[in-house]
Structure formats: C-alpha cells, structure tokens
C-alpha cells in the first residue's frame, strides 16, 4: 500500500460513509469513454470488496470486464477514483437484498422484468482525496499560500479498497 502521510484507514472509512450517503457515482468501461454514465451503487456494509448495480440488458456494461468509477461526495468533501471488474451477479439473495422502490421505478416488469441485468463490481485499486481542507487551509489559499503538503496528507492510494 502506498499513501501520503494521512491516515489511510480513516480516509477509507470516510469514503465508504460518503458513498453510502450519495445515490450516484460515474462508471465507465475501461477503454470506452463513451460508456461513462451515472449509476446508483448498491452497498453492503459487510462487503467492502464489491458493489452492485442494476442495469438494463442493452447497457454497455453488459459487456462486463474492467471498469473505472469516479465519485464526488456531497458538499465536495470527498473524491475518489477506483477500478474494478464487472461480472454478472447470480445470487438471487443478493438481488433481493438490494431491490427497492427506487430500482423498481426503472423496470416495468418489476423484479421479474426480463431486461434486468444485475452486476457486481469486484473492487481493485483506488485513489481517495479528502476535500475537507478546513478553515486554516482555506485561508491560506485565499492568501495565495501553498497548501500542497496539506492536500497530500488528505490523499491515499490503495492497492485494494
């Protein structure tokens, strides 16, 4: 694991909390920038190595394979880019765990809609930035003072989330 002098475990915990608090991230197939769209991740607090998505069988993501997600937390206090691999999720138990009215609104046939594809993103490398610079750092920026070192302390590179 390589990271700046910040606390990587604390930053990862803050990332998971921010992701749980936000309904969207941006997802794209690696090598296909035109596939990038906002998606609603489905999170399991006990599974920190995967996230899930419901999509339509006409979606580019049905090609599966390597993907990159980008995320901005509410209030611009957290930023992340993370990689992973999309696979079809076959667990009906997991499907039912995440099914809700917001998901159902996208599928005319409900849970049995033949066009639903349920995907799992197995997580890999990530970079996380804490955007909360604080009052002192904001004042330094307003005065034209450097805050590079402080920003690096709020950044972490992980070989796995």
Element (H, E) at 119: strand 116-130
- Find the length of the chain: 161
The stretch 34-55 carries a mean pLDDT of 91
In which band, very low, low, confident or very high, does the pLDDT at 75 lie, cut at 50, 70 and 90?
confident
Confidence of residue 7 (pLDDT cuts 50, 70, 90): low
Between 49 and 160, whose confidence is greater?
Answer: 49
Q: Which pLDDT score, from 0 to 100, does residue 16 have?
A: 83
- Collect all residues with Cβ–Cβ distance below 8 Å to 107 and sequence separation of at least 6: 54, 113, 115, 116
Q: Give the chain's domains with CATH numbers.
A: 8-158 (2.30.110.10)
Spacing of C-alpha 139 from chain mean position: 30
pTM above 0.85, yes or no: no
Cβ neighbourhood burial of 1 (10 Å; 0-12, 13-18, 19+)? exposed
The band of 160, judged by pLDDT with boundaries at 50, 70 and 90, is: low
**pLDDT tens for each residue of 65-74:** 999 999 998 8
What is the phi/psi pair of residue 159, to 5°? -80, -10
Query: Average pLDDT, stretch 134-151?
Result: 44
Answer for the pair 70, 80: CB distance below 8 angstroms, yes or no. Answer: yes
Is the confidence at residue 118, as pLDDT, over 60?
yes
What pLDDT shows up at residue 96?
A: 96
3-state helix, strand, coil in the chain (%, to 5): 30, 35, 30
């Amino acid at each position: 694991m390589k990271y700046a002098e910040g606390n990587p475990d604390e930053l990862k915990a803050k990332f998971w909390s921010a992701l749980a608090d936000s309904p969207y991230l941006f997802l794209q197939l690696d090598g296909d920038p035109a596939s990038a769209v906002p998606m609603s991740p489905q999170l399991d607090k006990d599974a920190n190595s995967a996230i899930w998505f419901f999509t339509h069988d006409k979606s580019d993501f049905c090609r599966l394979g390597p993907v990159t997600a980008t995320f901005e937390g509410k209030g611009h206090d957290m930023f992340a880019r993370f990689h992973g691999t999309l696979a079809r999720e076959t667990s009906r138990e997991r499907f039912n765990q995440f099914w809700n009215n917001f998901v159902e609104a996208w599928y005319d046939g409900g849970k049995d809609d033949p066009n639903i594809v349920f995907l799992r993103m197995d997580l890999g490398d990530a970079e996380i930035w804490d955007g909360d610079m604080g009052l002192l750092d904001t004042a330094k920026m307003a005065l034209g003072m450097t805050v590079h070192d402080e920003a690096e302390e709020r950044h972490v590179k992980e070989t796995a989330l």
